[in-house]
Structure 1
Amino acid sequence: MKRSVILICLFALFSCQSKLSQETIDKIKEKKTFWQTRTDLINKNKNTIEYPIKKDTTIGNEKRYNYIYTHSADCQFEIYIDDVLLTNFKGEMAREGGITGGHITNFLLLTSGTHEIKVRMYPPYGKDVFKIGAAVGLTFQHYRDGDFRTTVYDEKMRGEDGIILDHYDKQWVSDKGEYGTPSWVEAHYEPKTPLPLKGLPIYEWRSTFDADVPYDLTGWRNSVNLQKEQEDEKKNIKAELIAEYKKVHEIIKNRDVEGYLKLVKDREELLGKTMYYTEKERKEKIKMAEELLNNSDYELEPLFEETFKLEYQGYGKLVTLLHLADGEGIIRLTNKKDPNENIYLDFLFQRKEKGGKLSVI
Structure 2
Amino acid sequence: MGNYKINNPYYELYPNLNCAGKVLVNDVPVFSFLGQDSKDGILDGSVPINHIVLQSGKYKVVGKLLPRFGQKTLTENDGMNISFNLSDIDNWKETKHSFFPELNSPGPSFDKNNKITSPVKGLPFFEIAAEIEVELPFVLDGWQNSVDLSKIEKSIIKQKVLEFFIQIHALLKEHNASKFLELSKEKEDLQTKAFYFNSIRKQEVRDSIINLFNKKLDVLPLNEAELKLEFYGYGKLVSLVRLDGSSALQFKKNIAEGERNIELEVKLHARTLEKGLSII
Which TM-score bucket, shorter chain as reference?
Answer: 0.7 to 0.9
Report the Cα distance in structure 2 between the residues aligned to 1:301 and 1:125, rounded to whole angstroms.
19
Q: Report the AA paired with residue 263 of structure 1.
A: L
Q: Secondary structure at the match of 2:94?
A: strand
1:111–1:212 CA contact under 8 A, matched in 2 = yes
Deviation at 1:262, TM superposition (A): 1.3
Corresponding residue pairs, total:
267
Amino acid at match of 2:238: V
Q: Which among 139, 142, 152 is matched to residue 229 of structure 1? A: 152
Aligned to 2:163: 243
Distance 1:301 1:95 in 2: 19
Amino acid at match of 2:14: Y
Give distance in 2, aligned partners of 1:333 and 1:97. Answer: 21
* Closer, same or farther: CA 98–259 of 1 in aligned 2, 3 Å: closer
| Aligned residue identity for 1:291 | N
Report if the CA contact (8 A) 1:133-1:166 is conserved: no
Matched residue, 2:104: 164
Which residue in the other structure is 2:276 paired with? 357
Q: Which runs of 5+ in 1 are unaligned?
A: 1-59, 170-194
Q: Give the secondary structure class of the aligned counterpart of 1:266.
A: helix
* CA RMSD in angstroms, aligned pairs only: 2.7
Within a 5 Å distance, the mapping from 1:30-41 to structure 2 comes to none
Are 1:220 and 1:352, in contact at CA under 8 Å, matched by a contact in 2? yes
Tell me the secondary structure at the aligned position of residue 168 of structure 2: helix
Instruction: Tell me, yes or no, if structure 1 residue 268 matches structure 2 residue 191.
Output: no
Contact 1:97 1:124 in 2 (8 A): no
Q: 1:328 aligns with which of 215, 236, 246?
A: 246
Q: Does the residue aligned with 1:300 lie in a helix, a strand or coil?
A: coil
* Identical residues among aligned pairs (%): 26
2:140 to 208, 217, 234: 217
The 3-state SS of whatever aligns with 1:148 is helix
> In the TM superposition, what is the alpha-carbon distance from 1:82 to its structure 2 partner?
0.4
Q: What's the offset of the Cα at 1:106?
A: 1.5
Secondary structure at the aligned position of 1:69 is classed as strand
Between the aligned partners of 1:240 and 1:308, the Cα distance in structure 2 is 14
Q: Partners of 1:150 and 1:249 in 2: how far apart?
A: 41
Structure 2 counterpart of 1:110 = 54
2:81 is aligned to 137
Distance 1:208 1:223, change over 3 A: same
User: 1:62 is matched with which residue?
Assistant: 7
| Kept after mapping to 2: 8 A contact 1:134/1:166 | no
Query: Does the CA-based 8 Å contact 2:17-2:33 persist in structure 1?
Result: no
Mind listing any 5+ residue stretches in structure 2 that lack a counterpart?
110-117
Whole-Å separation in 1 of the counterparts to 2:184 and 2:192: 12
Quick one: distance in 2 between partners of 1:201 and 1:136?
15
For CA contacts below 8 A with separation 6 or more, give which structure has more relative contact order. Answer: 1
Q: Distance in 1 between matches of 2:249 and 2:85?
A: 34
Any idea what the Cα deviations from partners look like across 1:26-67, whole Å, max 9, x if unmatched? xxxxxxxxxxxxxxxxxxxxxxxxxxxxxxxxxx98111112
Pairwise mapping of residues 60-139 of structure 1 onto structure 2 (< 5 A)?
62-73=7-18, 75-139=19-83
Deviation at 1:355, TM superposition (A): 2.8
Pick aligned residue for 1:293 from 213, 223, 230? 213
Residues 110-168 of structure 1 deviation map (CA, whole Å, 9 limit, x = unaligned): 001101111111134433222324321122220112423212322xx43xxx2221156
State the Cα distance separating 1:72 from its structure 2 match.
3.6
Partners of 2:261 and 2:17 lie apart in 1 by 24
User: 1:6 is matched with which residue?
Assistant: none
Structure 2 Cα separation of the partners of residues 165 and 141 of structure 1: 19
Question: In structure 2, what residue type is equivalent to 1:200?
Answer: L
Change (3 A) 1:164 1:311: same
In structure 2, do the counterparts of structure 1 residues 342 and 110 end up closer, same or farther at CA, with 3 Å as the change threshold? same
Quick one: structure 1 residues 346 and 100, their matched pair in 2 at CA, closer, same or farther if it must change by over 3 Å?
Answer: closer
Letter of the structure 1 residue corresponding to residue 184 of structure 2? V
1: distance between equivalents of 2:38 and 2:6?
39
- Distance (whole Å) between structure 1 residues aligned to residue 68 and residue 255 of structure 2: 30
Between structure 1 and structure 2, the one with the greater Rg is 1
Normalised TM-score (structure 1) = 0.67
